[in-house]
Structure 1
Amino acid sequence: MNKIRLLIAALAVFTQTSFAQNFIDKEITFKSPDDSISYAGTLSIPGGNKKSPAVVIISGTGRQDRDGLMAGHKIFKEIADSLANHGYAVLRLDDRGVGKTTGVYEHATTADFATDALLAVKYLRSVPQVDAGKIGLIGHSEGGAIMSIAASKSKDIKFLISLSGLAMNGYDALISQNESIVNNSTLPDYDKARSNDINERMFKTALKYADSANMEAKLNETYNTWKVKDDAYFRTLNIKFDHFRFPVYSFVNYAIGPWYRYFIKYDAAKTMANIKVPVLAINGDKDNYVVPEANLQNWRNYIAAGGNKNVETHLLKNVNHLLLPCITCNQAEIPNIKSGVSPEAFHIIFSWLKKTIK
């Protein structure tokens, strides 16, 4: 009985120690070289006197704050807290025009966000508690492409971790993402086919005219031509009401913006062949945004094409785009998921970092 009590007491102490916060959070700011943007974020610094390896967390598409608040889950904060408790300094930033970071998000491209990541690395190199020779990037979703661009341009980045990260050409990514969303929706089959058809036509037109001043006119022309044929097709279905709508106005306005013009031309294979550092890529098999198998294969093949075979990939079962364990794994479920990031993902990350960086 005494041995059992001692064991229970020991486990209690271990649990308390494991979940104690062994780091401090510090509010930081730094500016772009031309002073046009002031970046703000949180730097988590592990306790102790040793210099720590460090990472910058890079967000995906859409305006996001430093905590990565998505559908009620503070994904980036959870990742940062866990890494800092394991001895890694972590910098997470508000996106341009979000929170305390200035600038206009809508004016930026994937390449601009890569510049932001490089400036964050430069800032970390100036922090006394950081080991300047062990700084890496963690990219979520589009953050995979962003960190690939950054790593292809800088020798100061020593490792990359992709979390549901993009490793596809921009055009291919848009096609695969939209097909995945459509095919996993509740639309009737005939509307799924119509949706995939118009999406492909519009994306092809956007790619062809991405550098053209008349891109808007060409997109509208493509839609109008399709609409005539689609109306005729729908009449053959003998269905009374047509509920399908393509948001042509909002799509065209979005597509003619700087981000879309750059992204649809993004060449992942060319960029990733220039990555020369160790890479870890993790995807969930229920990811409807970054198609997991194809992207994991690209992380291996595109980087290997440049001579770097130091790439490790993992496909997690029943895990979604936010790396949350899921049951139905649809978008509606995410706000109701009570658990945090997959424990398996954390186990893989820490094991890989231990053998690769520390």
Structure 2
Amino acid sequence: MKKIILALMFLYNLDAYAQQTASVGIMADSIIFKSADGEITYGGTFSKPAHLKSFPTVLIVSGTGKQDRDGTMAGHKIFLEIANYLNQNGIAVLRTDDRGQGKTTGIYETATTGDFAADALAAVGYLKKRNDVDLNKIGLLGHSEGGAVISIAAAKSKDVKFLISIAGLAMSGLEAQLKQNEDLVNHSALQDYDKKRANDINRIMFETAFRYADSDSLEAKLNEAYAAWKVKDDAYFKMLNIEFDHFRFPIYSYVKNATGPWYRYFIRYDAKSTISKIKVPILALNGDKDLMVAADENLSNWKNFALTGGNKNVTTIKLPGLNHLFLACTTCDNAESAKIKTGFSLQALSIIKDWLKKNFR
């Protein structure tokens, strides 16, 4: 209990964390390294248990949205919490700023999931150059889209020795878009008829984006698809005999996003093909209240897709009462996360620690 209390004291202050780690046997250094072509400089923090000479090393990979090395989301420093717990339990951690964030250069907005996988492998390359890291115990921990990122990286490199997914994506891009948005819509306060309309137009737009992702005509095709739906939807709403129509689909912002490099790549991401190439141990955790990465479907895919490639060393665990950030939730929608005072699930952290110690003593 004393270790947990000490951890919580400095979770939200990086300077205090750096000053106090020595008192609990942790060494933490701010580090800088470059991509293989020298075009991107990465900034991060490498922390390790000071009293051990051999330990697993975990590289944390973020999900969608530009994030700092602490994984600051909805007021919670998720990655710092994970690193602190693992460090105190004999495991080293490297966490980096995303492109265009903190000490890392590059442009996040023009990067794809594949580019983020290259970033992860650049970090693995940095770890391989350290004389205090066991090359046979380097693995990746990915959150949300980070699940796809670590899958791509592991499929490309034999230097990755294990994967840990925390609400990590194991669905193909199109399926993920359909499932995520359907869950969000169905969990919302919209009227049933507006839920139907939202799910209809989402499906039409996502499938159109998938079909024309590699085409110069994508923008035109999306606008055409929306216009055709709008004619039918106007007729449908008129039949409802409701005075005011409050439903809006953000066509302009969606088209702008969908025609960008990230979306074009992501919507065509093939999770089955990618995960089937992974031959290393995999641990996949999900909260059962996650509205962003559905627990049942993604956990099942981690196991089944790996098995198609002959990998049986996959452990999947669904944890009750946890949202996408592994916070204990009540309403479990995204807006609630900022109001939650508790931190990242200690049960999830304990499972990760035990799995690593079992597989990489």
Match of 2:209 in 1: 206
Q: Distance in 1 between matches of 2:6 and 2:248?
A: 55
Q: Comparing 329-338 with 78-87, which one deviates more in the overlay?
A: 329-338
Distance 1:318 1:15, change over 3 A: closer
Given the alignment, which residue of 169, 173, 197 partners 1:170? Answer: 173
Q: Distance in 2 between matches of 1:227 and 1:143?
A: 35
1:117 lines up with 2:120 in the alignment:
yes
Does the aligned pair in 1 maintain the 2:31–2:46 contact within 8 Å?
yes
Q: Distance in 2 between matches of 1:355 and 1:35?
A: 37
Match of 2:151 in 1: 148
Instruction: Tell me the SS of whatever aligns to 1:33.
Output: coil
1:261 lines up with 2:264 in the alignment:
yes
Q: Distance in 2 between matches of 1:38 and 1:116?
A: 10
Q: Distance in 2 between matches of 1:17 and 1:145?
A: 34
1:338 lines up with 2:351 in the alignment:
no
1:331 Cα deviation (Å)?
1.9
1:25 Cα deviation (Å)?
1.6
1:329 Cα deviation (Å)?
1.4
1:67 lines up with 2:70 in the alignment:
yes
Instruction: Write out per-residue CA displacement over residues 166-217 of structure 1, whole angstroms, 9 at most, x where no aligned residue.
Output: 0001000000000000000000000000000000000111001000001000
Match of 1:99 in 2: 102
Given the alignment, which residue of 89, 92, 98 partners 2:92? Answer: 89
State TM-score, norm by structure 2: 0.94
State TM-score, norm by structure 1: 0.94
Match of 2:251 in 1: 248
Instruction: Write out per-residue CA displacement over residues 270-323 of structure 1, whole angstroms, 9 at most, x where no aligned residue.
Output: 000001000000000000000110000000000011001000010000000001
Distance 1:172 1:121, change over 3 A: same
Does the aligned pair in 2 maintain the 1:300–1:311 contact within 8 Å?
yes
Q: Distance in 1 between matches of 2:65 and 2:162?
A: 25
Given the alignment, which residue of 33, 37, 41 partners 1:34? Answer: 37
Instruction: Write out per-residue CA displacement over residues 50-103 of structure 1, whole angstroms, 9 at most, x where no aligned residue.
Output: 133201000001111110000000000000111111111101011001111100
What letter matches 1:188 in structure 2?
Answer: Q
Instruction: Tell me the SS of whatever aligns to 1:287.
Output: coil
What letter matches 1:313 in structure 2?
Answer: T
CA RMSD across the alignment: 1.4
Correspondences of 1:246-325 after superposition (within 5 Å):
246-325=249-328
Q: Distance in 2 between matches of 1:21 and 1:176?
A: 43
Instruction: Write out per-residue CA displacement over residues 128-171 of structure 1, whole angstroms, 9 at most, x where no aligned residue.
Output: 22111110000000000100000001111111100000000100
1:15 Cα deviation (Å)?
7.2
What letter matches 1:94 in structure 2?
Answer: D
Given the alignment, which residue of 112, 123, 131 partners 1:128? Answer: 131
What letter matches 1:306 in structure 2?
Answer: G
What letter matches 1:149 in structure 2?
Answer: I
Instruction: Write out per-residue CA displacement over residues 5-58 of structure 1, whole angstroms, 9 at most, x where no aligned residue.
Output: xxxxxx87x877888632122111111122211111111121025133201000
Does the aligned pair in 2 maintain the 1:142–1:166 contact within 8 Å?
yes
1:346 Cα deviation (Å)?
1.2
Instruction: Tell me the SS of whatever aligns to 1:249.
Output: helix
Q: Distance in 1 between matches of 2:324 and 2:338?
A: 13
Instruction: Tell me the SS of whatever aligns to 1:236.
Output: helix
What letter matches 2:270 in structure 1?
Answer: D
Instruction: Tell me the SS of whatever aligns to 2:136.
Output: strand
What letter matches 1:104 in structure 2?
Answer: I
What letter matches 1:208 in structure 2?
Answer: R
Q: Which runs of 5+ in 1 are unaligned?
A: 1-10
1:333 Cα deviation (Å)?
1.6
Q: Distance in 1 between matches of 2:109 and 2:4?
A: 45
Does the aligned pair in 2 maintain the 1:51–1:128 contact within 8 Å?
no
Instruction: Tell me the SS of whatever aligns to 1:281.
Output: strand
Instruction: Write out per-residue CA displacement over residues 241-292 of structure 1, whole angstroms, 9 at most, x where no aligned residue.
Output: 1000000000000000001000000000000000100000000000000011
Q: Distance in 2 between matches of 1:127 and 1:106?
A: 31
Instruction: Tell me the SS of whatever aligns to 1:24.
Output: strand
Q: Distance in 1 between matches of 2:258 and 2:316?
A: 32
Q: Distance in 1 between matches of 2:161 and 2:45?
A: 21
Does the aligned pair in 1 maintain the 2:30–2:43 contact within 8 Å?
yes
**Highest Rg: 1 or 2?**
1
Q: What is the number of residues matched between the two proteins?
A: 347
Match of 1:22 in 2: 25
Q: Distance in 1 between matches of 2:237 and 2:346?
A: 48
What letter matches 2:162 in structure 1?
Answer: F
What letter matches 1:209 in structure 2?
Answer: Y
